[in-house]
Amino acid sequence: MTYLAKPKLHHPDLPQNKLGYTRRDYEGPVSTLCAGCGHDSISAAIIQAFFDLAIEPHRVAKLSGIGCSSKTPTYFLGQSHGFNSVHGRMPSVLTGAALANRDLIYLGVSGDGDSASIGIGQFAHVMRRGVNMVYIVENNGVYGLTKGQFSATADKGSKAKRGAVNSDEPIDLVQLALVLGATFVARGFSGDKEQLVPLIKAAVEHRGAAFIDVVSPCVAFNNHPGSTKSYDYVRAHNEAVNRLDFVSVREPITATVPAGGVRDVLMHDGGTIRLRKLHPEYDARNKVGALAYLEAHRMQGEVVTGLLYVQDDPSDLHESQNTVEVPLNTLGDDALVPGNAALADFNASLR
Amino acid sequence: MKPISRVNDFVVKFSNVNGSGSASANALFARAVLRMGVPVAARNIFPSNIQGLPTWYEVRVVEDGWRGRRGGIDLMVAMNPETWSQDVAEIEPGGYLFYDSTKPLPPSRFRDDISAIGMPITAICNAEYSDARQRQLFKNIVYLGALAALLSIDPAEVERLLAEQYKGKESLLEANRKAFRMGYDFETSHGAIGLKIERRDKVGERIFLDGNKAAALGALYGGATLCAWYPITPSSSVAEAFAAQCHKLRAEPGTGRHRYAIVQAEDELASIGMVIGGAWNGARSFTATSGPGISLMQEFIGLAYFAEIPAVLFDVQRGSPSTGMPTKTQQADLLCCAYASHGDTKHVLLFPEDPKECFEMGAQAFDLADRLQTPIFVMLDLDIGMQDWLCDPLTWDDDRRMDRGKVMSAADLEAGKEFGRYLDRDGDGIPSRTIPGTHPKRGAFFTRGTSKDRYARYTEDGSAYVDNMQRLLRKFETAKEYVPAPVIERAHQPTRAGVIWYGSTGAPMVESLVALEKHGIHLDRMRIRSFPFADAVADFVAEHEHVFVVEQNRDAQLRTLLVNECGIAPERLIAILHYDGNPLTARFITREIAEKAALFNVKPLRKVAP
């Protein structure tokens, strides 16, 4: 239960990051999701990523919509402010929050129902506005909290637990995000933490709209034969285009450079994505190529994972708004209220 | 029929085609009268269309300073052949018709009991200009010149206004001045009519301003830094005026960078979502919308109520329900806003009566939102929002500071002050909040629309839910101390009857009270300025046998709210309702109240002519 706190005492030798925080400082209360739920693995990856990056938890705001995935922000970053908002409308709440204070890190957590069905409009617009955020969709192709209805990302022909077959075309949020202008687009698998953690770290340091679609099997309603979002199916059809190590400016560079097919992508703030290409023909900076590649593999029933697209020097909403350097929520009377003298001019123009 | 003869007290109506450039000429007319020191009450009556449909502009020249629409037309400026019959029929007996006589009309198209003044405007413009657009545009300035001559407006005042309008655009100024002179000289040779404007000093320092612009400036002075909106008539000009004023007043010195953000959202749901996100994160945030937008925002408004987010909403009400009449006015969103969203919700509403109060309440709304940590609705309507009103100049107390309410700082948390997001430490129902990012170890909480305990921990325990809902009621009670109080005035004679109104109804209402008094009907009066109602509201009703409630909707929504919230017996409140979408007139109110007063034995029983 979420109100059961984890024991405060922990092993004295728990590793600490640069700030002196242990992994425990990035956790939340115990998850109430089903045992084996892919979402819990994603929460664990988020905890690991923020621990590794040594980001102070209170500098993160985590926002979500409604659904199983949207419950998860309770279970990580317990010392961050969180907002469990309205079904499908997290993007607008996150946009407003991001405008109010440009200095925090905004982590939006959503699901396939939340983002691809009820919230597809807001999903589209938050991407095209280039809100500086990490937007994670925990994608299981199914409505968990209401017990097993198909969502809009369920593959055509996919079989529900009770036998119904999905007859509608699926929405691929990755392709959508690419077309709509997201400047960092990736897909991960909840069962592959090694791939997922660096993806999240790179997304956090990306200064623009970063989107990660994480295929996350639902053990209760979508992990049976005939499902295309089960652990077995994804493991069998996962087509990873690259592996990456993310080297933050916050961390000492210790990763050894692997030989062959390596490409460094320098991030805005000096961090580096070190891409190990698994498919030599795949270029993560080529949007058109990425779309073609994704579609070709989708038609073969393959789930392409990895860093699919990254723009080196993205711009974000604050840039297009031309807002001041300091957060808007710190401006006081002196900066905001022009005073009576300015009204005299205004009045004079209306006589 | 004797032609009407009046000085500084008559109504001129301009009948035009939408998109023909008439709006700026008509506004010049109104401002020229103001420059003569004579008050006006002006209203655009326009269709939901950009070009080609009929549109009217009505200017009431009124030395007594009444701000409502009078009803009846003394001089019709008929520039739209399509609405000719309707326009001619509307003129009061003895009134005047000014028209374009280029194309002769048979006598059957006129009336015997009015005076017709023809001027070959099209012919004049065709002779003068070769460009088709100029021929059209300058027609408006030509008739403005003619009217100045007919009504004895000092041409120098109009020329001064033109000079201000076209400052730095000399060729445009010269062309306009010439067109004005053509019209003026033509009619001067034909002589004046019975309607006359004489110079007075009755405008003084007052300004001519619309409520949407005033509300936007109120938001700016109220410290708003985030505006998220979606275009909808009649509210769009709130956000547009906010953008224009911020451009002037909110640029960072040196860099020119913005101390504000304005997002035109994809819909009203996203608008209110952004406002809630921004307000949750400590930036004063608002949206502007109309009834259909409020309908779309319902789920989010409930979240903001329950999660206690300080959001501000400007609702510029229009003809409803559904799409309704987008360019017509009503006060029909009252119940929809007061109880917005599913579940048990109640919201704070403010009712400005004119643009001046739109400014004041527009600024105050942000203090109230922060103080009460709840959505605040500023209830304008099209009549206040989109029409220019003559009102006192705007002023600001430079010693005033934003009231950010109960926000715990890093120092408070560091000092070990107890923090529970929904903990009522002061007994006023208002908890403390923290802004995200305040303190590394303390004060973080999880905001939810679902149930929680006093420390924002998730719980489905029924008693914790009831505890929280009761606190929200206490907070609503506290709100009464902060919201603008009703304005109560006594009749000149002791009376057992009263009248209640709010918002734009006030303009014709105060005029009607004078008329009613002349007929021997004396009413104590109360202008309600906010919801929740102060105790004085129920007391006022209790002091009177019968109370008229005058409002602009079909279902007597304010009356319903009074019955519901104050436990008033419905028969004591007599509804006076006007909801055809046009601005209310004093004539209408006077007639309705007089009739009902007779029925309810409010003395005297004399019948009042409309």
The verdict on a CB contact (< 8 Å) between B270 and A89 is yes
For residues B58 and B598, the model is more confident at B58
CATH number of the domain within which A228 lies: 3.40.50.970
Q: Which of A143-152, B108-117, B522-531 has the lowest mean pLDDT?
A: A143-152
Asked if residue A18 is part of any domain, the answer here is no
Q: What whole-number distance in Å separates Cα of residue B69 and Cα of residue B66? A: 8
A342: closest CA among B217, B168, B400, B31?
A: B217
Give, to the nearest 10 degrees, the angle between helix B355-372 and helix B211-221: 40
Which residues in chain A have their CB less than 8 angstroms from residue B366's CB? none
- DSSP label at residue A190: T
Shortest CA distance from A73: residue in chain B: B446
Contact B13, B23 (CB under 8 A): no
CATH number of the domain within which B355 lies: 3.40.50.970
B422 and B317, same domain (yes or no): no
Min Cα separation B341/chain A (Å): 13
At A178, list the tokens.
């690419």
The verdict on a CB contact (< 8 Å) between B280 and A96 is yes
B140 and B272, same domain (yes or no): no
B315 and B240, same domain (yes or no): yes
Shortest CA distance from A118: residue in chain B: B269
Q: Tell me the three state secondary structure of residue B86.
A: helix
Q: What whole-number distance in Å separates Cα of residue B378 and Cα of residue A251? A: 51
Q: What whole-number distance in Å separates Cα of residue B557 and Cα of residue B336? A: 9
B320 and B464, same domain (yes or no): no
Which residues in chain B have their CB less than 8 angstroms from residue A98's CB? 277
Shortest CA distance from A57: residue in chain B: B440
The answer for A 256-295 residues in CB contact with B (under 8 A) is none
The verdict on a CB contact (< 8 Å) between A63 and B277 is yes
| pLDDT band at residue A255 under the 50/70/90 scheme | very low
| A·B CB contacts under 8 A | 223
Q: Which long-range contacts (CB under 8 A, 24 or more apart) does A1-7 make?
A: A1/A29, A1/A30, A1/A32, A2/A28, A2/A29, A2/A30, A2/A31, A2/A32, A2/A74, A2/A75, A2/B457, A2/B458, A3/A29, A3/B457, A3/B458, A3/B459, A4/A29, A4/A30, A5/A29, A6/A30
Tell me which residue has tokens 């892919």: A38
| pLDDT band at residue A254 under the 50/70/90 scheme | very low
Question: For the sheet containing B261-264, what is the strand order?
Answer: B261-264, B226-229, B285-289, B312-317, B376-381, B348-350, B530-531
- Looking at residue A107, what is its pLDDT? 98
A337 vs B221, B255, B446: nearest CB:
B221
Residues 6+ apart with CB under 8 A from A178: A185, A287, A290, A291, A294, A308, A309
At B332, list the tokens.
């029909």
Q: Which of A138-147, A238-247, B263-272, B489-498 has the lowest mean pLDDT?
A: A238-247
Q: What whole-number distance in Å separates Cα of residue A331 and Cα of residue A326? A: 8
Min Cα separation A109/chain B (Å): 14
Where a domain ends, among B391, B425, B455?
A: B391
Q: Is the pLDDT of residue A2 over 50?
A: no
For residues B82 and B601, the model is more confident at B82
- Looking at residue B52, what is its pLDDT? 84
Where a domain ends, among B142, B175, B196?
A: B196
* Domain residue limits at B535: 487-599
Shortest CA distance from A337: residue in chain B: B221
E strand spans, B32-173: 40-45, 54-62, 73-78, 91-100, 115-119
A93 vs B207, B277, B445: nearest CB:
B277
Tell me which residue has tokens 């109520």: B305
Q: Is the pLDDT of residue B439 over 70?
A: yes
For CA atoms A45, A51, A57, A61, the dihedral sign is negative
Q: Is the pLDDT of residue A252 over 80?
A: no
Which residues in chain B have their CB less than 8 angstroms from residue A57's CB? 440, 444
Which residues in chain B have their CB less than 8 angstroms from residue A59's CB? 437
Shortest CA distance from A101: residue in chain B: B281
Mutant choice from B225, B258, B419 vs A, greatest count of A C-beta within 10 A? B225
- Looking at residue B598, what is its pLDDT? 87
* Domain residue limits at A115: 23-348
Min Cα separation A292/chain B (Å): 29
Min Cα separation B250/chain A (Å): 7
Asked if residue B36 is part of any domain, the answer here is yes
The verdict on a CB contact (< 8 Å) between A92 and B273 is yes
pLDDT digits (tens, 9 = 90+) for B134-182: 999 999 999 999 999 999 999 999 999 999 999 999 999 999 999 999 9
Contact B595, B582 (CB under 8 A): no
B434 and B550, same domain (yes or no): no
B208 vs A125, A336, A350: nearest CB:
A350
The verdict on a CB contact (< 8 Å) between B273 and A89 is yes
Tell me which residue has tokens 């640069």: A18
Is A320 an interface residue toward B (CB < 8 Å)?
A: no
The answer for A 40-69 residues in CB contact with B (under 8 A) is 56-59, 61, 63
Q: Which of A224-228, A317-321, B105-109, B368-372 has the lowest mean pLDDT?
A: A224-228
Which residues in chain B have their CB less than 8 angstroms from residue A73's CB? 446
The verdict on a CB contact (< 8 Å) between A92 and B277 is yes
Which residues in chain A have their CB less than 8 angstroms from residue B257's CB? 322-325
> Residues, chain A, total?
351
The verdict on a CB contact (< 8 Å) between A350 and B273 is no
- How many H-runs (helices) and E-runs (strands) does chain B carry? 20, 23
Q: Is the pLDDT of residue B610 over 70?
A: no
Buried residues in B233-255 as b, exposed as e (16+ CB within 10 A): bbbbbbbbbbbebbeebbbbeee
- Looking at residue A269, what is its pLDDT? 66
> How would you classify the pairing of strands B54-62 and B40-45?
antiparallel
Residues 6+ apart with CB under 8 A from A21: A51, A54, A56, A57
Q: 3-class secondary structure for B220-281?
A: HHCCCCEEEECCCCCCHHHHHHHHHHHHHHCECCCCCCECCEEEECCCHHHHHHHHHHHHHC
CATH number of the domain within which B536 lies: 3.40.50.920
Min Cα separation A228/chain B (Å): 33
| For range B62-75, the mean pLDDT | 96
B417 and B508, same domain (yes or no): no
- DSSP label at residue B421: T
The residue type found at B344 is D
For residues A95 and A262, the model is more confident at A95
The verdict on a CB contact (< 8 Å) between B270 and A92 is yes
| For range B263-269, the mean pLDDT | 98
* Phi, psi angles (nearest 5°) of residue B573: -110, 115
Q: What whole-number distance in Å separates Cα of residue A143 and Cα of residue A148? A: 5
The verdict on a CB contact (< 8 Å) between A342 and B401 is no
Q: What whole-number distance in Å separates Cα of residue A66 and Cα of residue B465? A: 20
How far CA B508 is from CA of A286, B401, B583, B590, B595, in Å, comes to: 66, 35, 9, 9, 17
The verdict on a CB contact (< 8 Å) between A81 and B445 is yes
For residues B521 and B187, the model is more confident at B521
| For range B255-275, the mean pLDDT | 98
Asked if residue A251 is part of any domain, the answer here is yes
Q: Tell me the three state secondary structure of residue B100.
A: strand
Asked if residue A36 is part of any domain, the answer here is yes
- Looking at residue A274, what is its pLDDT? 75
Asked if residue B405 is part of any domain, the answer here is no
Q: Which of A274-288, B410-424, B488-502, B506-520 has the lowest mean pLDDT?
A: A274-288
The verdict on a CB contact (< 8 Å) between A84 and B448 is yes
Q: What whole-number distance in Å separates Cα of residue A207 and Cα of residue A209? A: 7
The answer for A 115-154 residues in CB contact with B (under 8 A) is 121-122, 124-125, 129
Q: What whole-number distance in Å separates Cα of residue B116 and Cα of residue B88? A: 10
Asked if residue A7 is part of any domain, the answer here is no
Measured from the Cβ of residue B482, the count of other Cβ atoms closer than 10 Å reads: 14
B118 and B11, same domain (yes or no): yes
pTM of the model: 0.95
- Looking at residue B225, what is its pLDDT? 98
At B398, list the tokens.
């430079």
Asked if residue B541 is part of any domain, the answer here is yes
The verdict on a CB contact (< 8 Å) between B273 and A122 is yes
Contact B113, B92 (CB under 8 A): no
Shortest CA distance from A62: residue in chain B: B446
Report the number of distinct structural domains present in chain B.
4
Contact B349, B317 (CB under 8 A): no
Is A351 an interface residue toward B (CB < 8 Å)?
A: yes
Q: What angle do CA B210, B215, B219 make, to 5 degrees?
A: 155
Report the number of distinct structural domains present in chain A.
1
At B246, list the tokens.
């911020």
- Looking at residue B605, what is its pLDDT? 40
- Looking at residue B12, what is its pLDDT? 98
| For range A295-311, the mean pLDDT | 92
Asked if residue B610 is part of any domain, the answer here is no
Contact A56, B440 (CB under 8 A): yes
Which residues in chain A have their CB less than 8 angstroms from residue B440's CB? 56-58, 79
pLDDT digits (tens, 9 = 90+) for A337-348: 999 999 999 999
The verdict on a CB contact (< 8 Å) between A56 and B440 is yes
Asked if residue B556 is part of any domain, the answer here is yes
B254 and B379, same domain (yes or no): yes
Where a domain ends, among B450, B482, B514?
A: B482
A61 vs B223, B265, B436: nearest CB:
B436
Q: Is the pLDDT of residue B249 over 70?
A: yes
Contact B36, B155 (CB under 8 A): no
Measured from the Cβ of residue A21, the count of other Cβ atoms closer than 10 Å reads: 19
Min Cα separation B396/chain A (Å): 5
The verdict on a CB contact (< 8 Å) between B394 and A343 is yes
B236 and B374, same domain (yes or no): yes
Q: Is the pLDDT of residue A257 over 90?
A: no
Q: What whole-number distance in Å separates Cα of residue B276 and Cα of residue A323? A: 19
Measured from the Cβ of residue A263, the count of other Cβ atoms closer than 10 Å reads: 14
Measured from the Cβ of residue B119, the count of other Cβ atoms closer than 10 Å reads: 21
| For range B84-94, the mean pLDDT | 97
| For range B271-277, the mean pLDDT | 98
Q: Is the pLDDT of residue A3 over 80?
A: no
The residue type found at B497 is A
B161 and B50, same domain (yes or no): yes
| For range B542-553, the mean pLDDT | 97
Q: Tell me the three state secondary structure of residue B585.
A: strand
Asked if residue B589 is part of any domain, the answer here is yes
Q: Which of A40-54, A141-155, B93-107 has the lowest mean pLDDT?
A: A141-155
Mean residue pLDDT across chain B: 96
Q: Is the pLDDT of residue A121 over 80?
A: yes
A100 vs B273, B281, B448: nearest CB:
B281
Mutant choice from B284, B403, B446 vs A, greatest count of A C-beta within 10 A? B446
The verdict on a CB contact (< 8 Å) between A335 and B259 is yes
| pLDDT band at residue A253 under the 50/70/90 scheme | very low
A154: closest CA among A56, A222, A107?
A: A222
Q: What whole-number distance in Å separates Cα of residue B528 and Cα of residue B569? A: 19
Element holding B304 (H helix, E strand): helix B298-307
Mutant choice from A85, A317, A334 vs B, greatest count of B C-beta within 10 A? A85
Asked if residue B606 is part of any domain, the answer here is no
Q: Is the pLDDT of residue A21 over 60?
A: yes
Measured from the Cβ of residue A61, the count of other Cβ atoms closer than 10 Å reads: 29
Q: Is the pLDDT of residue A249 over 90?
A: no
B72 and B51, same domain (yes or no): yes
Measured from the Cβ of residue B359, the count of other Cβ atoms closer than 10 Å reads: 29
What whole-number percentage of chain B has pLDDT above 70? 98
Which residues in chain A have their CB less than 8 angstroms from residue B255's CB? 324
pLDDT digits (tens, 9 = 90+) for B112-133: 999 999 999 999 999 999 999 9
The verdict on a CB contact (< 8 Å) between B226 and A96 is yes
Asked if residue B308 is part of any domain, the answer here is yes
Mutant choice from B34, B274, B421 vs A, greatest count of A C-beta within 10 A? B274
How far CA B434 is from CA of A24, A92, A239, B407, B549, in Å, comes to: 23, 21, 45, 6, 42
Min Cα separation B454/chain A (Å): 13
At B371, list the tokens.
């103080």
- Looking at residue B596, what is its pLDDT? 93
B138 and B227, same domain (yes or no): no
Contact A26, A200 (CB under 8 A): no
